[in-house]
């Protein structure tokens, strides 16, 4: 070859290289847009359009890049088409690979992947050989890897297609598709396998067992159906079908699922742990699944597609869950235009509780948005509470509960406003707002309650709680319906509400009721009593006890409590009607919860009585009774110690009296009064009611007393002794026993009480002028006395003088029996 020939060959080769490298970049490939769209639409059966630029290269492999491609309702940022170079050199166009990126499939789903093909010819789009595909499906913030493969064995019309989606942790399951695909139909099986439902959801309240689902899939140009669905969870089965009508715009889908008994407690770690704890085989430590959930799972946000209409009809006969049975649960809803219209979510919950929820759910950019209504009616709220919040404690209150609320949820916030809450005959209205911050405003019978707070990073509740109202009686009647104090007044309370290990705490508690003020701290355990440490100043008890003395006719004229705007600390309204005499009013403890309280008071006052430096431990049983122990108080210059029991019908206890000023007791009868002495003794007493008159007329028990170095006014034993020595009976009987004082060294005796009647058979008084003994009865209810006293003067050698007191306790008839002493004197 000559030099000229070589130059020509080199120039030709260089020109070819330049043509291969440069010409594709200089060509306007957009002119091929109509042909590409037409061919792709024919091959796929969905409308295809390319709105972005088109570019290509020939080496090292022929590639065409399409930007902003739509296929039916899906769209892709970039579609990369790879062609076989060998077929291209022979004049044929063969597609061997497709790369997809930035795919948007609707409903918030995304797709990125690659497809390796056999040969798809431009003429007819026929598949020859096999294909494989892999990539990532994005759904609700999750990235789900997938792979698929298919082939056409023997050149027949049916293509076997197999696909798998690998669900990410913590779900960790797999979705599989095995199908045969033709040009007009696909048939196969679609299945789901999840190793552990509890771990997938991240809760120990569901079974730690595999969940599987399988159904028969059929797809035609007009309809897609997943029928003969069987969901298996242990021994439980759920069946149903999903049918989509593809010819409509939007696509119409019906979802129908049914179950007889769905047992969510079988294999549930929480249920197993609860049984073991109940049987004493394990401690109540968190289960591994619950304890392992220390970080929040990624939020799963599934935008509701606007281009489909879905009817949901999902129901079951019973669901066993968390140790309870949910009967006839049902969901009836329609997804239309990107909005889920919930006709009803209904069920019979434990505690004979009917629940119904309705409303609309949509998915905004900031998250889900919901508006609707909820209604609950429970005939056994304690059972419902124990089921919904395990460990929330026992109790029997309330016996019924009702909730009606309008719900509004958006931007991570749920509002219940307006809200109507009924607990037995208590009706509360207001509003509650739940988010990272929590606010609540409730009104009950004129009592206003407000809470402002939220939850910390550890989930604990903290905030400011305030309660105020014009009537502390109305506040108490929320728990004790029959409470009727003798006077009423304003009330207010404030505290810092918090939570600690499932318990609610009230710190810095300040309670004002009328003129009484109490400070302290309260802790409400989820499965135990209320713990309280309460400190009070001087508290007068009279306003808080029932009135006495008038008939029920006065009840019609009961004045209303002071108005809410009435100012002044401790202002009290006029008293409500009194309790009629003879009517024993039970101590109202039945509505109070279990409680364990330590109480300190500077002073407790009742009428003329006063106890200083009072301390005791009080335990409420939650079943209408209470016990107190460690009672200690100072009064009348001495101390009182004791313990006892409060019941709905009354109270009883044991007391030890030490060093009391006997003269300050104010004991008197028939012109005689106890004016001094130090009293020691013991008392074992019981009584009924609340009012002082009730306490007196039902008093039962025994008191043993000893009074030393005392003084009695209205009787001069030394003067009586002197008159007897002078044989001055006339002067003695006409007035010698009246007036003066008697100092004594010892006064002792045993006093027994039976339903308000006090009796003694061994009263004994020893003084310098003689000795006095007595027997008798005092009826506190009738205010009467019938007693006999024997006066034995010292050193006279005469028999005792008998005295009988009979009649009203304050002014009894006094009858002297001097017969024996007169006979003795006459003999001398």
Token couple for 1: 């070859």
Lowest-pLDDT range of 63-67, 479-483, 628-632, 663-667: 479-483
* Strand, helix or coil for residue 475: helix
Same domain membership, residue 532 and residue 672: no
Same domain membership, residue 709 and residue 638: no
d(CA 544, CA 533): 21
Mean pLDDT over 418-422 rounds to 95
Same domain membership, residue 544 and residue 638: yes
Residue 252 resides in a domain: no
Lowest-pLDDT range of 124-128, 227-231, 345-349: 124-128
* Per-residue pLDDT, 579: 38
Place of tokens 């290289």: 17
455 lies in which domain range?
444-553+563-648
For residues 137 and 372, which has the higher predicted lDDT (pLDDT)? 372
Residue 364 resides in a domain: no
d(CA 289, CA 286): 8
Mean pLDDT computed over every residue of the chain: 81
Mean pLDDT over 735-760 rounds to 85
- Band (97; pLDDT cuts 50, 70, 90): confident
Helix or strand (DSSP H, E) at 702: strand 700-713
Mean pLDDT over 501-518 rounds to 89
3-state helix vs strand vs coil in the chain, percent to 5: 15, 55, 30
- Band (39; pLDDT cuts 50, 70, 90): confident
* Statement: residue 319 has pLDDT above 60: yes
d(CA 182, CA 45): 12
* Statement: residue 412 has pLDDT above 70: yes
Percent of the chain's residues with pLDDT above 90: 39
Angle 158-162-166 from CA coordinates, rounded to 5°? 160
141 and 299 in contact (C-beta within 8 Å)? yes
Number of helices (H), then strands (E), in the chain: 12, 47
* Statement: residue 254 has pLDDT above 90: yes
CA dihedral 475, 478, 479, 480 (to 10 degrees): 80
* Per-residue pLDDT, 734: 64
Which parts of 676-818 fold into alpha helices (H)?
692-697, 717-725, 729-731
d(CA 423, CA 397): 9
Domain end (from 122, 146, 170): 146
Q: State how far the alpha carbon of 513 is from the alpha carbons of 272, 447, 488, 574, in Å.
A: 48, 13, 9, 15
Comparing CA positions, the residue from 216, 194, 218 lying closest to residue 206 is 194
* Per-residue pLDDT, 82: 87
Reported pTM: 0.68
* Per-residue pLDDT, 285: 56
Mean pLDDT over 316-330 rounds to 95
- Band (611; pLDDT cuts 50, 70, 90): very high
Q: State how far the alpha carbon of 515 is from the alpha carbons of 401, 469, 641, in Å.
A: 34, 14, 27
Tell me, what DSSP letter sits at residue 574?
Answer: P
Mean pLDDT over 196-211 rounds to 89
150 and 159 in contact (C-beta within 8 Å)? yes
Lowest-pLDDT range of 560-564, 692-696, 700-704: 560-564
* Statement: residue 202 has pLDDT above 60: yes
* Per-residue pLDDT, 277: 62
* Per-residue pLDDT, 177: 94
293 and 202 in contact (C-beta within 8 Å)? yes
- Band (526; pLDDT cuts 50, 70, 90): low
For residues 670 and 467, which has the higher predicted lDDT (pLDDT)? 467
Token couple for 512: 């004002």
* Statement: residue 19 has pLDDT above 60: no
Preceding amide of 60 cis, omega within 30: yes
Same domain membership, residue 662 and residue 636: no
CB atoms within 10 A of CB 430: 19
* Per-residue pLDDT, 633: 97
Where b means 16+ CB within 10 Å and e means fewer, 535-561 reads bbeebbeebbbbbbeeeeeeeeeeeeb
Residue 527 resides in a domain: yes
489 and 572 in contact (C-beta within 8 Å)? yes
Strand partners, 236: 233
CA dihedral 89, 95, 97, 99 (to 10 degrees): 110
Same domain membership, residue 572 and residue 462: yes
d(CA 600, CA 614): 6
Antiparallel, parallel or unpaired: β 251-263 and 308-321:
parallel
Mean pLDDT over 336-350 rounds to 95
d(CA 774, CA 787): 7
* Per-residue pLDDT, 586: 53
**Distance from CA of residue 720 to its chain's centroid?**
75
* Per-residue pLDDT, 762: 92
Strand partners, 316: 259
283 and 274 in contact (C-beta within 8 Å)? no
Residue 532 resides in a domain: yes
d(CA 798, CA 804): 19
Quick one: 262 exposed, middle or buried, by C-beta within 10 A (0-12, 13-18, 19+)?
Answer: buried
For residues 598 and 781, which has the higher predicted lDDT (pLDDT)? 598
* Per-residue pLDDT, 536: 96
Which parts of 135-223 fold into alpha helices (H)?
197-201
Same domain membership, residue 782 and residue 636: no
**Distance from CA of residue 813 to its chain's centroid?**
66
* Statement: residue 693 has pLDDT above 50: yes
Comparing CA positions, the residue from 542, 494, 534 lying closest to residue 515 is 542
Mean pLDDT over 576-584 rounds to 41
Strand partners, 686: 652, 700
d(CA 36, CA 475): 79
- Band (246; pLDDT cuts 50, 70, 90): confident
- Band (562; pLDDT cuts 50, 70, 90): very low
- Band (560; pLDDT cuts 50, 70, 90): very low
* Statement: residue 494 has pLDDT above 60: yes
Same domain membership, residue 659 and residue 634: no
Which of 270-279, 323-332, 706-715 reaches the highest mean pLDDT?
323-332
Q: State how far the alpha carbon of 180 is from the alpha carbons of 221, 314, 699, in Å.
A: 15, 30, 93
User: What's the sign of the alpha-carbon dihedral 58, 63, 67, 71?
Assistant: positive
pLDDT in tens, 255-286: 999 999 999 998 888 777 777 666 666 555 55
Domain end (from 118, 146, 174): 146
Same domain membership, residue 573 and residue 492: yes
* Statement: residue 389 has pLDDT above 70: yes
d(CA 557, CA 708): 51
Lowest-pLDDT range of 424-438, 476-490, 717-731: 717-731
Lowest-pLDDT range of 39-48, 516-525, 773-782: 39-48
For residues 123 and 183, which has the higher predicted lDDT (pLDDT)? 183
* Per-residue pLDDT, 283: 56
419 and 433 in contact (C-beta within 8 Å)? no
* Per-residue pLDDT, 364: 81
d(CA 664, CA 687): 23
536 and 511 in contact (C-beta within 8 Å)? no
Phi and psi (nearest 5°) for 283?
Answer: -85, 170
d(CA 683, CA 642): 9
Place of tokens 């999903």: 242
Mean pLDDT over 609-615 rounds to 94
Same domain membership, residue 639 and residue 661: no
* Statement: residue 434 has pLDDT above 80: yes
* Statement: residue 344 has pLDDT above 90: yes
- Band (211; pLDDT cuts 50, 70, 90): very high
HSE-CB at 692 with a 13 A cutoff on CA atoms is 11
* Per-residue pLDDT, 600: 97
* Per-residue pLDDT, 276: 66
Same domain membership, residue 668 and residue 521: no
d(CA 572, CA 554): 19
Residue 70 resides in a domain: yes
Antiparallel, parallel or unpaired: β 401-410 and 174-181:
unpaired
Where b means 16+ CB within 10 Å and e means fewer, 347-379 reads bebbbebbbebbbebbbeeeebebebebebebe
d(CA 662, CA 678): 6
Where b means 16+ CB within 10 Å and e means fewer, 281-297 reads eeeeeebebbeebeeee
Mean pLDDT over 792-817 rounds to 80
Residue 635 resides in a domain: yes
Residue 366 resides in a domain: no
For residues 282 and 93, which has the higher predicted lDDT (pLDDT)? 93
* Per-residue pLDDT, 571: 41
Quick one: 676 exposed, middle or buried, by C-beta within 10 A (0-12, 13-18, 19+)?
Answer: middle
Domain end (from 648, 671, 687): 648
d(CA 82, CA 57): 10
* Statement: residue 362 has pLDDT above 80: yes
Residue 501 resides in a domain: yes
d(CA 235, CA 240): 17
For residues 127 and 626, which has the higher predicted lDDT (pLDDT)? 626
**Tally of domains in the chain:** 3
Same domain membership, residue 810 and residue 683: yes
d(CA 734, CA 411): 97
* Statement: residue 125 has pLDDT above 60: no
pLDDT in tens, 282-313: 555 555 555 444 444 444 455 677 778 999 99
Mean pLDDT over 529-547 rounds to 90
For residues 599 and 221, which has the higher predicted lDDT (pLDDT)? 599
Same domain membership, residue 569 and residue 502: yes
Token couple for 66: 């399409």
* Statement: residue 696 has pLDDT above 70: yes
Comparing CA positions, the residue from 283, 259, 265 lying closest to residue 208 is 265
Token couple for 583: 């009517």
* Per-residue pLDDT, 480: 72
* Per-residue pLDDT, 638: 95
């Amino acid at each position: 070859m000559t030099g000229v020939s070589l130059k020509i060959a080199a120039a030709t080769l260089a020109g070819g290289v330049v043509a291969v490298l440069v010409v594709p970049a200089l060509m306007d490939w957009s002119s091929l847009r109509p042909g590409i769209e037409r061919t792709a639409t024919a091959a796929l059966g969905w409308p295809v359009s390319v709105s972005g630029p088109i570019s290509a290269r020939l080496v090292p492999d022929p590639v065409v890049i399409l930007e902003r491609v739509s296929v039916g309702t899906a769209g892709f940022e970039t579609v990369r088409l790879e062609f076989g170079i060998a077929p291209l050199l022979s004049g044929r166009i063969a597609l061997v690979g497709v790369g997809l990126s930035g795919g948007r499939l609707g409903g918030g789903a995304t797709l990125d992947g690659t497809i390796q093909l056999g040969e798809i010819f431009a003429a007819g789009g026929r598949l020859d050989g096999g294909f494989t595909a892999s990539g990532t499906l994005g759904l609700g913030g999750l990235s789900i890897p997938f792979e698929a493969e298919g082939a056409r064995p023997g050149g027949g019309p049916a293509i076997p297609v197999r696909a798998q989606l690998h669900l990410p942790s913590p779900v960790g399951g797999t979705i599989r598709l095995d199908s045969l695909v033709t040009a007009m139909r696909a048939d196969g099986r679609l299945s789901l396998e999840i190793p552990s439902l509890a771990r997938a959801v991240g809760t120990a309240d569901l079974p730690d067992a595999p969940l599987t689902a399988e159904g028969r899939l059929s797809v035609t140009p007009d309809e897609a159906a997943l029928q003969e669905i069987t969901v298996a969870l242990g021994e439980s089965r759920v069946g149903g079908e999903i049918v989509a009508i593809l010819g409509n715009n939007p696509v119409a889908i019906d979802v129908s699922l049914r179950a007889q008994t769905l047992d969510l407690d079988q294999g549930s770690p929480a249920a197993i742990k609860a049984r073991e704890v109940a049987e004493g085989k394990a401690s109540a430590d968190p289960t591994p699944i619950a304890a392992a959930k220390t970080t929040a799972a990624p939020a799963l946000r599934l935008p509701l597609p606007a281009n489909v209409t879905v009817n949901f009809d999902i129901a079951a006969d019973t669901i066993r869950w968390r140790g309870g049975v949910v009967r006839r649960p049902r969901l009836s809803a329609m997804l239309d235009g990107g909005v889920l219209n919930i006709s009803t979510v209904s069920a019979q919950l434990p505690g004979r509780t009917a629940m119904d929820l309705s409303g609309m759910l949509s998915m905004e950019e900031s998250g889900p948005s919901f508006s609707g209504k909820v209604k609950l009616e429970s005939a056994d709220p304690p059972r419902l509470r124990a089921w919904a919040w395990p460990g929330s404690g026992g109790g029997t209150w309330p016996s019924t509960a009702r909730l009606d609320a309008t719900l509004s949820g958006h931007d991570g916030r749920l509002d219940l406003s307006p809200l109507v809450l009924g607990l037995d005959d208590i009706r509360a209205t207001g509003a509650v707002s739940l988010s990272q911050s929590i606010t609540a405003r409730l009104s009950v019978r004129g009592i206003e309650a407000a809470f402002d707070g939220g939850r910390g990073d550890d989930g604990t509740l903290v905030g400011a709680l305030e309660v105020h109202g014009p009537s502390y009686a109305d506040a108490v009647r929320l728990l004790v319906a029959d409470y009727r104090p003798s006077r009423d007044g304003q009330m207010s309370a404030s505290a810092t509400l918090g939570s600690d290990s499932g318990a609610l705490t009230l710190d810095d508690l300040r309670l004002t009721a009328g003129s009484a003020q109490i400070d302290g701290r309260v802790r409400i355990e989820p499965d135990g009593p209320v713990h309280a440490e309460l400190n009070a100043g001087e508290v007068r008890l009279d306003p808080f006890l029932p009135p006495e003395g008038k008939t029920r006719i006065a009840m019609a004229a009961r004045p209303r409590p002071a108005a809410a705007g009435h100012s002044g600390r401790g202002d009290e309204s006029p008293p409500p009607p009194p309790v009629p005499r003879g009517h024993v009013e039970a101590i109202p403890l039945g509505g109070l919860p279990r409680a364990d309280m330590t109480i300190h008071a500077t002073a407790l006052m009742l009428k003329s009585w006063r106890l200083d430096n009072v301390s005791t431990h009080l335990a409420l049983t939650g079943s209408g009774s209470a016990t107190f122990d460690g009672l200690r108080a100072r009064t009348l210059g001495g101390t009182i110690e004791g313990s006892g029991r409060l019941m709905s019908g009354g109270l009883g206890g044991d007391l030890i009296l030490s060093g009391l000023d006997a003269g300050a007791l104010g004991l008197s009868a028939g012109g005689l009064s106890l004016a001094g002495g130090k009293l020691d003794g013991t008392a074992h007493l019981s009584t009924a009611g609340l009012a002082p008159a009730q306490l007196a007329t039902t008093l039962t028990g025994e008191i043993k007393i000893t009074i030393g170095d005392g003084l009695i006014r209205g009787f001069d034993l030394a003067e009586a002794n002197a008159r007897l020595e002078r044989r001055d009976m006339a002067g003695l009987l006409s007035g010698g026993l009246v007036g003066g004082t008697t100092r004594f060294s010892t006064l002792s005796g045993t006093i027994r009480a039976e339903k308000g009647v006090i009796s003694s058979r061994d009263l004994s008084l020893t003084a310098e002028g003689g000795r006095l003994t007595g027997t008798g009865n005092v009826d506190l209810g009738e205010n009467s006395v019938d007693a006999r006293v024997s006066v034995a003067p010292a050193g006279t050698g005469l028999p005792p003088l008998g005295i009988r007191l009979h009649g009203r306790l304050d002014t009894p008839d006094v009858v002297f029996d001097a017969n024996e002493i007169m006979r003795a004197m006459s003999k001398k």
